[in-house]
Chain A
Amino acid sequence: AQRVTQPEKLLSVFKGAPVELKCNYSYSGSPELFWYVQYSRQRLQLLLRHISRESIKGFTADLNKGETSFHLKKPFAQEEDSAMYYCALSPNNAGNMLTFGGGTRLMVKP
């Protein structure tokens, strides 16, 4: 069975500082990896997915199959980035069924 681990429950940084939210996974096949974000009092929404290789709101994430990681990075954090971030995995050919990590709360201080 697949598993997603986010080792940090809380990450607090100052505005303008670099941010890295860690995500490690275990799965025997070739998964699809996602980052979801939940801003205060809003619903969960997709931030980015590894297959699209995009940068969304300044965030990037690279899938490292050797280290089974999909860390989320941003060079300069903004206060509006404060939110709950969830890493998620979809097994290949599983109809988009998602397994979520425990989530990391990012707090960006002014």
Chain B
Amino acid sequence: GAVVSQHPSRVICKSGTSVKIECRSLDFQATTMFWYRQFPKQSLMLMATSNEGSKATYEQGVEKDKFLINHASLTLSTLTVTSAHPEDSSFYICSARWPGFNEQFFGPGTRLTVL
């Protein structure tokens, strides 16, 4: 149990386009999901906390209009990188919080490359 999937696993897009990344909890309902960003050889940086049915909470320095988060159901959160630029190229990882257990389960990550 406690499996989190991400789709797509990798995406290449042109500068100026928007890219949507999906995060799904496959066998449990997650009221809270998290989005992280990881640059090569660096640690995970929390971008935002995604709350089902309400607005996401963004970390300082993360542009909410650039990184749109939608958590419309208890099993799905989406991250849309709008008007992507090469500096947005990174590894994006989501996690879902197992309710009541204070534990996060991580997705496999999505590698975004913006040309």
Chain A residues with CB under 8 Å of chain B are 32, 42-46, 49, 86, 90, 95-103
Contacts and interface: CB of A to CB of B under 8 A. Distances in A.
Contact of A32 (B32, B95, B102): B102
A95 B32 contact: yes
Contacts of A95: 32, 49, 97
B44 A86 contact: yes
A100 B43 contact: yes
A106 to B, nearest CB: 15
B8 to A, nearest CB: 15
B108 A97 contact: no
Given A95-B32, A96-B97, A44 B43 contact: no
Given A90-B102, A97-B46, A98-B104, 18 more contacts: A32-B102, A42-B108, A43-B93, A43-B106, A43-B107, A44-B95, A45-B106, A46-B104, A96-B32, A96-B97, A96-B102, A97-B34, A98-B46, A99-B46, A100-B43, A100-B44, A103-B42, A103-B43
Contact of B103 (A46, A99, A100, A103): A46
Contacts of A86: 43-44
Main secondary structure of the interface of A (DSSP, over half): loop
Interface residues of B, number: 18
Interface of B: 32, 34, 42-46, 49, 93, 95, 97, 102-104, 106-109
Given A43-B108, A43-B109, A97 B49 contact: yes
A94 to B, nearest CB: 9
A101 B104 contact: no
A86 B38 CA distance: 13
18 contacts: A32-B102, A42-B108, A43-B93, A43-B107, A43-B108, A43-B109, A49-B103, A86-B43, A86-B44, A95-B49, A95-B97, A97-B34, A98-B46, A98-B104, A100-B43, A100-B46, A101-B43, A102-B42
Contacts of B93: 43-44
A95 B104 CA distance: 10
